[in-house]
Amino acid sequence: MGYVDGFLLPVPKKNLRAYAGWHRRRAKFGASTARLNSRNAPGTTSRSNRLRRGVSAPGQAQAGETVMFSFIVYKSRAHRDRVIAKVMKDPRLAKMMDPKSTPFDVKRMAYGGFKVLVDE
């Protein structure tokens, strides 16, 4: 049915525009790897406070931050593994994931892979 890599990222609200630009640059080479699609959405509801606890290892997302929910869709786990292998060889990724150049705290990012159960 499909496979999804999901991410929770603590992004300072003042960096949302910078995050969008960062993601667009990353997506340019991600698209060349044949992933199906990707979405990014900042938390806007009070219920997102529950998510805030999940993105910060020693505590919670901090004041002035929002939790960005991001996901990438693949055809299957095998497809994901092929895409990731290709992406990891791309030197642009290492540069983009340097903590000095990201608009969020990479060390506090939570992520995982998920097999799609329901796809409507």
Report the pLDDT value the prediction gives residue 113, as an integer from 0 to 100: 93
Tokens coding 87: 């992406």
Domain that holds residue 22: 3-115
| 36 within domain boundaries | yes
| 15 within domain boundaries | yes
Looking at per-residue confidence, does 84 or 27 come out higher? 84
How many domains is the chain partitioned into structurally? 1
| 120 within domain boundaries | no
C-alpha dihedral, 91 to 87 to 6 to 66, nearest 10°? 20
Average pLDDT over residues 96-106: 79
> pTM of the full predicted structure?
0.75
Average pLDDT over residues 95-105: 78
Q: For the segment 45-90, what is each residue's pLDDT rounded down to a tens digit?
A: 545 455 555 555 444 667 788 888 888 888 899 999 988 888 788 7
Report the pLDDT value the prediction gives residue 56, as an integer from 0 to 100: 53
CATH of the domain at 36: 3.30.70.100
- Is residue 3 within 8 Å of 113, Cβ to Cβ? yes
